[in-house]
Amino acid sequence: MGSRQLRRWLNRPIRCHDQLHLRQSCVQAIQDSFQWQGIYDHLKAIGDIERILARVALRSARPRDLARLRDALQELPELTALLSNIEESALDHLRETIIDFPVEADLLSRAIIDNPPVVIRDGGVIAEGFDAELDELRQLSEHAGDFLIRLEEQEKATTGLSTLKVGYNRVHGYYIEISRAQSDQAPAHYIRRQTLKNAERFITPELKEFEDKVLSSKSRALTREKALYEQVIEQLNENLMGLQNLAVSLSELDALNNFAERAETLNFSRPTLTRDNGILIEGGRHPVVEQVSDQPFVPNDLTFSNDNRMAVITGPNMGGKSTYMRQIALIVLLAHTGCYVPAEGAKIGPIDRIFTRIGSSDDLASGRSTFMVEMTETANILNNATPCSLVLMDEIGRGTSTFDGLSLAWACAAHLAQKLRAYTLFATHYFELTALPEQFDGVMNLHLNATEHNDNIIFMHKVQEGPASQSYGLQVAKLAGIPHDVVGQAREKLVQLEQQENQNGDQVRTIYTPVQNDLFSVAEPAPALEKLESISPDDLTPRQALELLYELKALTR
């Protein structure tokens, strides 16, 4: 139940600050009272009663479902006592619904055996002592042999016939057998049933009555047990609403208790949710990368305000740009679930949505290339983001040519900064975009630095102000295992390109710098066409027309 509740909170974060403050206060109360371990131990003994109660409502609950519900209800008294020891009003809404259900607990404790079978079909579910009629039917079915032994001893003593014995077969049922030598001495109330070669078989009214009871007792016991089982489910349905409210509150307590445990174990802090615009994060960390990495995680800060809404992030691959962007989004997301956040401190203003354009993937089944997917997601952001949205844009424009990609990245960043004014983290390798702060208000440059040592690259993972100095692409390629001769050849080509840039004074855009044609541009009219447009053919003499022909030929050259 708790895992489903947590998944719902993460998939559907809320913007209601009052509700979020209530969740935070619950987390704070559990953490301050040091009771999260005790709550966890009690919740561990409670099964998934949310689903069990759904089956109860549908009259499809199985015996083991009722056994787990019984165990959960028996655990409630200790859990409610533990919650009552936490002196915090924030938990009052949970204490109102997490209460004991003594009637239902007693019913299930008396009705269901400790370890019932999977289904009711074969019986053996209802506990002994719950119903007198069922106990009698079971007694007849299970202890028929004892009755026959007692009857045989009784009849031998009454009749004095030493050869008398009581038996049973499937054809004739129960019988009293006497040897042929003593058959004449059988009492008058014995009714002859079968004659054999060496014996006679009889039946008595008492034995006939017992036979009718025993032969039908098993089926009657199963019928009775199924009826009792349905009665138990019907009685549970009489207070189904209260039990379902209990399940909801237990799942909420489980999720909040998990928040408290994570805050204590992972050093999370309580975020401040405010009505003022902006995002301020001090010492933010990525909650997943921090746990799986063998290296100490380097925390980073972020400051967004009304006057500062976009950060253009540059730096080398593997430098931590994507990690930094995602940790900001995760901190904001966790804050809007009521959870504490992986940061030294966080102050978060109104946020309505989180948009991300990260990574590269295609959708070939739908006929969409990697670049088309990228543009579709970007279009969704540009058409739906608001000034209260958090936008993560990672490497826009890398799926097409240099000119197209750079132009699109520039235009998207300008639109976000100038028109939408959303809180934007814009990571890019186009260093031309680092000039955006000079052209638009509210834009700043951030970079993650790296350093070279003995021809190796060391990533610092620390966010600093200003643009990056270089991309360290060749060093990262070397780390990835690109052959040394390939890296060496690339280094030589890089030197040539840098020299060419210095000589021409223009930035080298590609290795071969071809002229890129615009498929949608309209060509300017040729001089010959302009000349023709200014002449009226009806006003020309033959000689003037011949001279014009030579002139047009010369223009086409």
Phi, psi for 141 (deg, rounded to 5):
-70, -40
Phi, psi for 285 (deg, rounded to 5):
-135, 155
* Cβ-defined contacts of 364-369 (< 8 Å, 24+): 369/399
Contact 72, 45 (CB under 8 A): yes
pTM of the model: 0.77
Taking Cα atoms as reference points, which of 326, 304, 361, 323 lies closest to residue 461? Answer: 323
3-state SS class at 235: helix
Strand partners, 392: 356, 425
Question: In this predicted structure, what is the pLDDT of residue 206?
Answer: 84
Taking Cα atoms as reference points, which of 380, 449, 378 lies closest to residue 410? Answer: 378
DSSP readout, 80-147? HHHHHTS--GGGHHHHTTS---HHHHHHHHHHB-SS--S-STT---BPTTS-HHHHHHHHHHHSHHHH
Rounded-to-integer distance, Cα 208 and Cα 74, Å:
47
Question: In this predicted structure, what is the pLDDT of residue 183?
Answer: 84
Dihedral sign computed on CA atoms, order 242, 246, 105, 232: positive
Rounded-to-integer distance, Cα 362 and Cα 487, Å:
29
Rounded-to-integer distance, Cα 382 and Cα 419, Å:
10
Question: In this predicted structure, what is the pLDDT of residue 548?
Answer: 83
Question: In this predicted structure, what is the pLDDT of residue 494?
Answer: 80
Show Cβ contacts of residue 374 under 8 Å, excluding neighbours closer than 6 positions.
357, 360, 396, 399
Q: Which residues of the chain have pLDDT under 70?
A: 143, 454-455, 501, 503-528, 557
Q: At what angle do helices 36-44 and 63-84 cross, to 10 degrees?
A: 160
Q: Residue 71's CB: how many other CB atoms inside 10 A? A: 17
Contact 351, 295 (CB under 8 A): no
Question: In this predicted structure, what is the pLDDT of residue 505?
Answer: 55
Question: In this predicted structure, what is the pLDDT of residue 434?
Answer: 93
Rounded-to-integer distance, Cα 182 and Cα 519, Å:
120
Rounded-to-integer distance, Cα 179 and Cα 165, Å:
9
Residue 159, class by beta-carbon neighbours within 10 Å (0-12 exposed, 13-18 middle, 19+ buried)?
Answer: middle
Q: Give how far Cα 78 sits from Cα of 2, 73, 84, 106, 525, Å.
A: 19, 10, 10, 16, 90
Q: Give the amino acid at 484.
A: H
Show Cβ contacts of residue 148 under 8 Å, excluding neighbours closer than 6 positions.
166, 167, 168, 174
Rounded-to-integer distance, Cα 46 and Cα 101, Å:
14
Question: In this predicted structure, what is the pLDDT of residue 363?
Answer: 78
Q: Give the amino acid at 35.
A: Q
Would you put residue 129 in left (φ > 0), alpha (ψ -120 to 50) or beta? left
